[in-house]
Amino acid sequence: MGKPRLISRRKQHQGLKWARIAIGILATIGVIDTGSITLHKWGWIGTLACPGGTNSCDIVLNSAWGTFFEGNNFNIPLSLVGFGAYSSVLLLAIIPLIPGIPDNKINLSRKTWWGLFIISVGMTIFSLILIGLLIFKIKAFCFFCVLSFVLSVFILIITLIGGNWEDPTELIFRGLMISLVVLLGGLIWSSSVEKSKVEINNISEGLPPLVETKSSPDKINLARHLNSIGAKMYNAYWCPHCHDQKEMFGNEAVKELNLIECAKDGKNSQKELCDQKGITGFPSWEINGIIESGVKSLNELSEISEYKGSRNF
């Protein structure tokens, strides 16, 4: 009688198998969700079909809070951080289910349950911060963001049920500590983003933020050259990268550019033209019949457009 009880206790100590499978399924959905957003942000895939309105999703995903870190030549979308978190959850969920695990399977199983708990608590708290930003700051609905929040909550719930935790006190203590750390870090991050980029996101009535940099004579001449050869810049009023491109030219030079507003609710929208041209990323330049997406340096634009004037930008 003693041996069956020992086996039963060991199985219970390893947690519930169905819970791991369920977490693995939810994490896979999360990987697809955040992976698709990341590829879209990097311009590797086109427009995402967003239930509830593609325009609202674009506003959220391209807001300042849609980027976790931005350097001079690269950026880390917030969705990439989510992709890493869901990938970690998926890995922790399925490792003990892989055949051929060594003899210390029980110890490995407990460690992965703790890993699942720590990550899912952090994801849930951070997702709550993002939902707050959606409601109070960005004021737009994003299906993908809400889906990620729901997935995080269910992963946490299933982890609490399936882990067969022996010491609720330790669980509560660690959960509170993780929550406080993530909450504090998340609020500091969101506040720093708001202070540095709030003007870029101060969008109202479909108008882009004002360009504040000054234009040199050469920048103005380049803009006039681009206009004279029929070059077009396809942009959206809510797009921070479009604003970055305009800031390169400066306030005076931007007025010389042929800007095409692609956002459906943008002022003087030409969305039909953008759709006809197959524009999926902003900004996009059409120069000499060729369309290229992404922010371009002024020297790049000079080369592409065969600008012969002075390039003292």
Nearest to 208 by CA among 12, 59, 71: 59
Predicted confidence at residue 23, as pLDDT, reads: 97
Residue range 251-282, pLDDT digits in tens: 999 999 999 999 988 889 999 999 999 998 88
Q: Residue 229 has what pLDDT?
A: 95
pTM comes to: 0.66
Instruction: Report the pLDDT value the prediction gives residue 13, as an integer from 0 to 100.
Output: 64
CB 13 within 8 A of CB 82: no
Each residue's pLDDT tens digit, 189-208: 888 876 555 444 455 567 88
Q: DSSP string spanning 199-231?
A: TTT--BTTBPPPP-SPPPHHHHHHHHHHHHTT-
* C-beta of residue 169 within 8 angstroms of C-beta of residue 137: no
Rounded to whole angstroms, how far apart are CA atoms 264 and 56? 10
Give 77's strand partners: 67
pLDDT for the residue numbered 150: 97
What are φ and ψ of residue 298, in 5° steps? -65, -30
pLDDT of residue 107: 84
Angle ∠(165,168,171) on CA atoms, nearest 5: 85
Q: What domains lie within the chain, and their CATH numbers?
A: 2-197 (1.20.1440.130), 217-305 (3.40.30.10)
Positions of the chain with pLDDT lower than 70, given as ranges: 1-13, 43, 46-47, 52-55, 70-74, 101-104, 194-205
Going by C-beta distance under 8 Å and a sequence separation of 6 or more, which residues neighbour residue 8?
A: none
Cβ(242)–Cβ(282) below 8 Å: yes
Q: Which two tokens stand for residue 68?
A: 């976790």
Dihedral, 12, 13, 16, 17 alpha carbons, nearest 10? -100
pLDDT at 74 (0 to 100): 67
Phi, psi of 248 (to 5 degrees): -65, -35
Residues 271/280, Cβ–Cβ less than 8 Å: no
pLDDT tens-digit map of 85-106:
999 999 999 998 888 766 567 7
